[in-house]
Amino acid sequence: MATEGGATQKALLGLLSMGPMSGYDIRALIPESIGHFWSESYGQIYPGLKRLAGDGLVEKKTERQKGRPDRHLYSLTEEGREELGEWLRLPVVGEVPRNELLLKLFFGMQVPASVSREHVEAELAKHRALLARYGAVAKALEREHGNDPDLPYWLMTLSFGRHTSNATVKWCEETLQELGRLQKKDKGGRR
Amino acid sequence: MATEGGATQKALLGLLSMGPMSGYDIRALIPESIGHFWSESYGQIYPGLKRLAGDGLVEKKTERQKGRPDRHLYSLTEEGREELGEWLRLPVVGEVPRNELLLKLFFGMQVPASVSREHVEAELAKHRALLARYGAVAKALEREHGNDPDLPYWLMTLSFGRHTSNATVKWCEETLQELGRLQKKDKGGRR
DNA sequence: GGGTGCATGTAATGGGTTACATGATTCT
DNA sequence: AGAATCATGTAACCCATTACATGCACCC
């Protein structure tokens, strides 16, 4: 009874383990929860929920509303909770990440060094902004979910973001210096 | 004359900027060059090359061989080099990375802490191995391409790997400790 | 005889995003 | 009047991996 379907389906199960929700709710919840390392679009969520319901992993209840479309509330079944647990135990399947910045940088010689500098500077700004958000989110979590047993796990994922963004910032700074040196050599020639 | 097609096509152009190659060569070159942050399968490479040839961005020459299939050697045209340059200048499009480890960790409360520990330990081992390889590759590059003008750019991409893998290792170690604390609390209860 | 390397390619399948379609309510 | 929010869903499209199909040569 493998009940196939990739990590996307499991992410839906996971979010529903936090309480009954509609597809719309799920979409809205993502940026505040797993948004730093996962994303789902409507095109995945709605068909995904339908499929999970067909497999008996979630239950659907329709809530009438006046003046608005019905809300379709989904909640985990016992089977769904088991399926989630099984998947959580499986080893993580490693993928080769695709990093367009590095791809462009690798071929940076084809283009003036200033072009690469701009790309790296954009990356730097992005991660500085991320770091600010991580800090804010961590504080908000501790305020609003201070004694939720899930909290330590949520903080671990945030901490990952902090570690890697800090490292990326440092790399950007070093790389900008190196690119600066290359730029000078280009312009100066022997003298 | 946009000549659409995502970053995959551009990666092919980039690799061909290093010299004429066959699809087979490209596949073999990837692990030694952009493999740490990019991948291409045959299912992408062969149709991709065909399409680039149709767009006049690469030129195909067939080399007869005895006892082996013909080699189809592709080389950049002037147009192809321009197209590559244009793309390199475009800002990097940021994607939300998908990280299955973090997804599992986020829902770690659904499962004994030992499960999460194993996932994190696997990640730790992976990045320690990567760090060893980065070091070896950097040395090999400096030995074999000591005065290649591309070298500084290649080293920057390696340096990125070092920075982020180091950060990941540190995070893994901290997270393992934290998970250990959670484990004890679970078992011990109040006493 | 059987595995590995050389070398090409296609087809089936799975994943995922974007844009579209609908339509009432509430805020500006 | 027009935009944003609530709320559902589908269809077209793009991207990517995997497995398959072919076939000779060379080494063990």
pLDDT of B186 strictly over 90: no
Question: Is the C-beta of residue B31 closer than 7 Å to nucleic acid chain C?
Answer: no
**Which of A110-114, A162-166, B142-146 has the least mean pLDDT?**
B142-146
Task: Please state, for a pLDDT cut of 90, what percent of chain A lies above it.
Answer: 84
Residue A141's Cβ-side half-sphere holds a number of Cα atoms within 13 Å equal to 20
Spacing of B70 CA from D24 C1' in Å: 12
Distance from the Cα of A63 to chain B's closest Cα (Å) equals 27
Helices of type H across A34-150: 42-54, 78-89, 100-106, 113-144
pLDDT digits (tens, 9 = 90+) for A39-51: 999 999 999 999 9
pLDDT digits (tens, 9 = 90+) for B29-53: 999 999 999 999 999 999 999 999 9
Question: Is the C-beta of residue A64 closer than 7 Å to nucleic acid chain D?
Answer: no
Q: What is the CA radius of gyration of chain A?
A: 22
Q: Is B105 on the interface with A (CB under 8 A)?
A: yes
Q: Do B92 and A39 touch (CB under 8 A)?
A: no
Spacing of B65 CA from D25 C1' in Å: 12
pLDDT of B2 strictly over 60: no
**Using CB atoms, which residue from B37, B93, B115 is nearest to A102?**
B37
Selected residue with higher pLDDT from B14 and A191: B14
Task: Report how far residue A167's alpha carbon sits from residue A114's, in angstroms, rounded to the nearest whole number.
Answer: 22
Q: Is B173 on the interface with A (CB under 8 A)?
A: no
Look over chain A and give the mean of its residue pLDDT values, rounded to a whole number: 93
* B69: nearest nucleotide, CA–C1' criterion: C7
Task: Report how far residue B108's alpha carbon sits from residue B175's, in angstroms, rounded to the nearest whole number.
Answer: 12
Going from the C-alpha of B72 to that of each of A98, B32, B55, B63, B68, the distances in angstroms are 27, 21, 17, 6, 12
pLDDT at B190: 61
Task: Please state, for a pLDDT cut of 70, what percent of chain B lies above it.
Answer: 96
Stated pTM of the model: 0.94
pLDDT of A3 strictly over 70: no
Look over chain B and give the mean of its residue pLDDT values, rounded to a whole number: 93
Return the H-helix or E-strand segment holding B150. Answer: none
Q: Do A107 and B167 touch (CB under 8 A)?
A: no
Average pLDDT over residues B8-37: 96
pLDDT band at B185 (very low <50, low <70, confident <90, very high): confident
pLDDT of A102 strictly over 50: yes
pLDDT of B154 strictly over 80: yes
**Which of A55-69, A74-88, B121-135 has the least mean pLDDT?**
A55-69
pLDDT digits (tens, 9 = 90+) for B161-176: 999 999 999 999 999 9
Average pLDDT over residues B110-128: 97
Q: Is A46 on the interface with B (CB under 8 A)?
A: no
Task: Report how far residue A40's alpha carbon sits from residue A25's, in angstroms, rounded to the nearest whole number.
Answer: 12
pLDDT of A1 strictly over 60: no
Q: Is B150 on the interface with A (CB under 8 A)?
A: yes
pLDDT of A2 strictly over 50: no
pLDDT band at B98 (very low <50, low <70, confident <90, very high): very high
**Which of A131-135, A143-147, B18-22 has the least mean pLDDT?**
A143-147
**A105-109 contacts, C-beta under 8 A, 24 or more apart:** A105/A175, A105/B153, A105/B156, A105/B157, A106/B14, A106/B33, A106/B34, A106/B153, A106/B154, A106/B157, A107/B14, A107/B17, A107/B84, A107/B88, A107/B153, A108/B88, A108/B153, A108/B156, A109/B149, A109/B150, A109/B153
Question: Is the C-beta of residue A24 closer than 7 Å to nucleic acid chain C?
Answer: no
Task: Report how far residue A1's alpha carbon sits from residue A97's, in angstroms, rounded to the nearest whole number.
Answer: 31
Distance from the Cα of A151 to chain B's closest Cα (Å) equals 9
Question: Is the C-beta of residue B7 closer than 7 Å to nucleic acid chain D?
Answer: yes
